[in-house]
Each structure stands twice: as C-alpha cells, then as structure tokens.
Amino acid sequence: MYVAVKGGERAIDNAHRLLAEDRRGKTSTPDLTVDQIREQMKLAVDRVMTEGSVYDPDLAALALKQARGDMIEAIFLVRAYRTTLARFGSSLPVETGSMKIDRRISAAFKDVPGGQILGPTFDYTHRLIDFKLAADGGDPEEAISMDDAMPQARHVLDLLAGEGLVETPEASQDQAPPGDITRTPVEFPMDRSTRLQSLARGDEGFLLALGYSTQRGYARTHPFAGEIRVGRVAVEFQPEELGFPIQIGEMEMTECNMINQFQGSKTVPPQFTRGYGIALGHGERKAMAMALVDRSLRAGELGEERTAPSQDEEFVLSHCDNVQATGFVEHLKLPHYVDFQSELNLVRKMRRQVEDGIAFAGKEAAE
C-alpha cells in the first residue's frame, strides 16, 4: 500500500550530519586549519575572493574548508555572507600604477622601464610531480632578494599612450560612479564599468573558454599581453566629513592590459585598443581571459561586426556567473514530477494518435 512519503525533515537533518562527517574525512588525519589553507592553497583562496567579490583571505579559506574544496560552493558561501555585510561607502579607485610589484611582465617589449619581474610563477617550471612534497618537502630554499623594497613602475601602456598609439580610457567614465550589479538589476546594453564588474566576478573557466575561442578565430582580436602585474595596492577611503582620503588597507591584485590591433574607423585613426582584466589576489589566468573577453565585447563600440559568442553581451554576461549557473543547473535535482506527469500524459496522448493513425492507414491499405 502506498503511503505518502513523510519524513523529509529527518532525511534532511541526517544528510547534513553525513555531509559533516564526510567533510572531516578520517579523524586519524589531523584537521585542516584555516591558516594552512590560506597559506598553502593561496591560489584557491584568491579565486574564491575574486568570484565571491570579497577581499578576505581568512573568510575565503574558511569557506574552502567548509565547501570541502569545491570552488563554486566556497564562492557561493562567500557571496551569501557578503550580502549581509553593511556598506560604509565606496573607496577611491585603486591606483594600480602605484602598485608595489611582486610580478610584472610585458610580452610586447623586450625591456620596459621598471624591468620585467618574473616573481612567483609556474610559467617556466617543468610540470613534473614533486614527490618530495609527499614525503616531507621541508622548507624551500630562500629566494635571492633582487631588491629589498617592492618596486613600483608605470603602466607599460601609458608609455604608448603618449604617442597616441594606444587608446586612453575615456576620462568621462572615470568620473561616473561605477555600477553595482549586486544592488541594481542589470540592464542591457551595459555600460563598461558594470560589464567589467560582471566579468570580474564571472567564472574563470567560462571566461577562459570564451577568451580561448577568440584566439581560434571566433572574433579574433589580435591580442598582445601588454602588461600583467601582480602586487599590492593601497585602498583609500574619503569620509565625507574629513575632506581628504585616508588609506584603510592594502590588497593584493592582478591586473592585465591586453593590447589589440584596431584598423581604425572614419573618426579614429588606426591605433591599439585595450582589453582589461583584474582579479583579487594572484589570478593571472582569470585576468587574461577577462581582458580578452572585455575587448571582444567592445565590438559594438568599435564598429566591428558581431559574429561570435564572445562578442554577444547578453550571452556572455547572462551566463558568466557560476553561482547562478550552478544553482539553475543543479535545481534539476529538485522534484519536477508534476511537470513530468504533464509531459507523460501528453506523450501518451500523442503516441495513441500516431498508433490510431497507423492502424487506420493499415486498415485502409488492406481494404
């Protein structure tokens, strides 16, 4: 005899307990500390901060622990926490040109004022599993310090802008207060500041694939990595009653300026255009992919024909948020049996019609 399934509440409670158990794993293995995650899983922490839109390494590390290493789950936790935070105001725009640099490279020039600074990078490592790390890697050799103070250097693109070879970002936009996609519903077409904000919290994998597609001919933009810089920037806030800005902290950021060829138009002579990418912490892949997609999305503004997915603002920006995407994809796990029942009835009805039709046709043929 069928009895309506009761006990959803107990099932949920028990699922939560099982989850907690699984998260901890074997208790004979020491519990992972938030400090360990923050210090040794830094790039994961940085991605959670970027896509979670909160600069708080401790919080991101804790979210990663709670999420059992699932990036999107951790990003979701951070986002949900972020919504509850009070807002005191907006900082002044951070001056990435005055960044205290850890790493800074330009693929466009052999040498630039301030120099090429490799910094901590996987780039020239051989990707061989280091089994020493599994044994007890011990402490790494100390790096040779090139310079005691973290260097500062002007943006590479500023050097070209003087000659008019590369566009300068419109000053008018700098004055406008930036949009806030977490406080106002998005509308298309989006202004560039709002668009950059969407891309900055957009999914790294999604933007990577889209950026990659532009390199393979879907809206080719002829990119050069004009400059990638990683380092610490000062965050300044100007309280209304004070009248001058005060530094309230420092953030580590990664910035990418792509340089892209531009044929020019009726009003603008040929020059290089920019694609811009930025991430909290150290996130070069994200910043580069974002810069490629940003440039691609400027097709309309630059009078280029829109033919590829990466140029389609609604397509890119409506689908780049992984918290939204995962929620909607995974909601398919929720019961849909009312809708399925409706479809089941419909398919049965249509099959009956087809069978009747076949039977009728067969009868006619026999006669």
Q: Which residues bind other proteins (CB under 8 A)?
A: 1-2, 4-9, 11-12, 76, 79-80, 82-84, 182-189, 314, 318, 323-324, 326-331, 334-339, 341-346, 350, 353
Rounded Cα gap, residues 296 and 307, in angstroms:
11
Which DSSP category does 91 fall into? P
Residue closer to other proteins by CB (options 344, 359) is 344
Q: How far is the CB of 341 from other proteins (least distance, A)?
A: 6
Residue closer to other proteins by CB (options 23, 336) is 336
- 347 burial (CB, 10 Å; 0-12 / 13-18 / 19+) is exposed
Q: Decide if 220 contacts 250 (C-beta within 8 A).
A: no
Residue closer to other proteins by CB (options 146, 354) is 354
Kind and range of the H or E run holding 105: strand 100-105
Q: Decide if 230 contacts 102 (C-beta within 8 A).
A: yes
Q: How far is the CB of 340 from other proteins (least distance, A)?
A: 9
Which DSSP category does 227 fall into? E
Q: How far is the CB of 161 from other proteins (least distance, A)?
A: 33
Minimal CA–CA distance to 98: which of 232, 256, 225, 287?
232
Maximum Cα interatomic distance, the chain, rounded to a whole number of Å = 100
Q: How far is CA 80 from each of CA 30, 83, 327, 331, rounded to the nearest angstrom?
A: 29, 6, 13, 18
Q: How far is the CB of 355 from other proteins (least distance, A)?
A: 14
Minimal CA–CA distance to 351: which of 362, 363, 343?
343
Q: Decide if 106 contacts 140 (C-beta within 8 A).
A: no
Residue closer to other proteins by CB (options 103, 192) is 192
DSSP string for 52-84? HT---HHHHHHHHHHTTT-HHHHHHHHHHHHHT
Residue closer to other proteins by CB (options 36, 324) is 324
Residue closer to other proteins by CB (options 14, 263) is 14
Q: How far is the CB of 49 from other proteins (least distance, A)?
A: 15
Q: How far is the CB of 281 from other proteins (least distance, A)?
A: 21
Residue closer to other proteins by CB (options 17, 183) is 183
Q: How far is the CB of 8 from other proteins (least distance, A)?
A: 4
